[in-house]
């Protein structure tokens, strides 16, 4: 899980650097295209393509891919508009949205403890965005939309996981997003220089390897053990933001992030006691 966090953190940094020169759709296209390399290697050395690519729910994969594509676009765009630490902090609201949405979409029963954690978590979100001032801007709204679609992606993955292999879901998501994003290239293409192409390649490889590590982590240990390690991505985001862009986190961001993370961890604790693993978080900018 820690290796996964490192890969995704490097992917986020590369995406933020690249979006200073390239449109978000082009960065996302190369992220998906080159992520196919580690994903296909994992399938080849795993159960093989004949078994992995077999699916009974092609439309389910398409719907899940559209949701994941929306989540990735929102989070990558928020990286461009916000300090990296702020964007990652707001993405941690995804388990809060997920718990709330599980009632109407999955017919889950959510008790007073988890509802209380959701409410406290959204107070933390308000602390981060400070809606009484001028910080509730486009970037914050897009980051929260990314967290919402991240939660919807987790619900779609949970439904598909009842019959589909994990690598099947990852492969079709990566393939379909590559095709869909490829259709946008004629409208916004900027030819990358050799160094930019290497950075785009690294973005995709980091995303693909990070997803494989994430999947492997959940296959080796309970969610209650590995999921909290995802929050270490905030430390890396703040560190990279400070080193590369001089972004110094504010006290209110740190306080709000602490409240949101504590709420997410408490929800995970309650679900673990109930024997569910609903809030396994997806990494920021993924939707995988």
pTM: 0.89
Could you read off the pLDDT of 155-176 as tens digits, one per residue?
888 888 888 988 999 999 999 9
Mean pLDDT (the chain) is: 89
User: Mean pLDDT over residues 250-279, rounded?
Assistant: 83
Q: In this predicted model, what pLDDT tens digit does every residue of 116-142 receive, in sequence order?
A: 999 999 999 988 887 545 546 888 899
Q: How many residues in total does the chain contain? A: 288
> What is the distance between the alpha carbons of residues 234 and 231, in angstroms, rounded to a whole number?
6
Let me know the angle formed at the C-alpha of 102 by 2 and 285, rounded to the nearest 5 degrees: 40
In Å, how far are 52, 146, 214, 251 from 70, measured between CA atoms?
25, 7, 20, 30
For 195-234, how does the pLDDT look when each residue is reduced to its tens digit (9 = 90+)?
999 999 999 999 999 988 888 888 787 777 788 888 899 9
């Amino acid at each position: 899980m820690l290796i996964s966090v490192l890969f995704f953190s490097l992917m986020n940094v590369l995406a933020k650097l690249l979006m200073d020169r390239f449109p978000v759709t082009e960065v996302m296209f190369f992220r998906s295209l080159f992520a196919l390399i580690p994903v296909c290697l994992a399938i080849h050395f795993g159960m093989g393509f004949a078994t992995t690519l077999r699916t009974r729910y092609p439309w389910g994969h398409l719907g899940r891919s559209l949701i994941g594509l929306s989540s990735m676009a929102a989070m990558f765009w928020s990286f461009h508009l916000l300090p990296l630490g702020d964007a990652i902090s707001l993405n941690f609201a995804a388990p809060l949205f997920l718990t709330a949405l599980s009632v109407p979409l999955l017919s889950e029963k959510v008790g007073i403890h988890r509802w209380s954690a959701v409410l406290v978590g959204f107070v933390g979100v308000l602390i981060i965005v400070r809606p009484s001032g001028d910080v509730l801007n486009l970037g914050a709204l897009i980051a929260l939309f990314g967290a919402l679609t991240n939660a919807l992606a987790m619900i779609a993955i949970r439904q598909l996981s009842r019959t589909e292999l994990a690598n099947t879901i990852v492969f079709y998501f990566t393939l379909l997003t590559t095709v869909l994003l490829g259709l946008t290239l004629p409208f916004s293409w900027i030819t990358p220089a050799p160094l930019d192409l290497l950075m785009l390649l690294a973005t995709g490889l980091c995303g693909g390897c990070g997803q494989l590590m994430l999947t492997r982590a959940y296959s080796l240990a309970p969610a209650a053990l590995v999921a909290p390690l995802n929050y270490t991505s905030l430390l890396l985001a703040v560190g990279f933001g400070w080193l590369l862009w001089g972004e110094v986190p504010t006290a209110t961001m740190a306080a709000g992030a602490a409240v949101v993370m504590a709420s997410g961890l408490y929800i995970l604790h309650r679900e673990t006691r109930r024997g569910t693993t609903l809030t396994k978080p997806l990494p920021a900018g993924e939707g995988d």
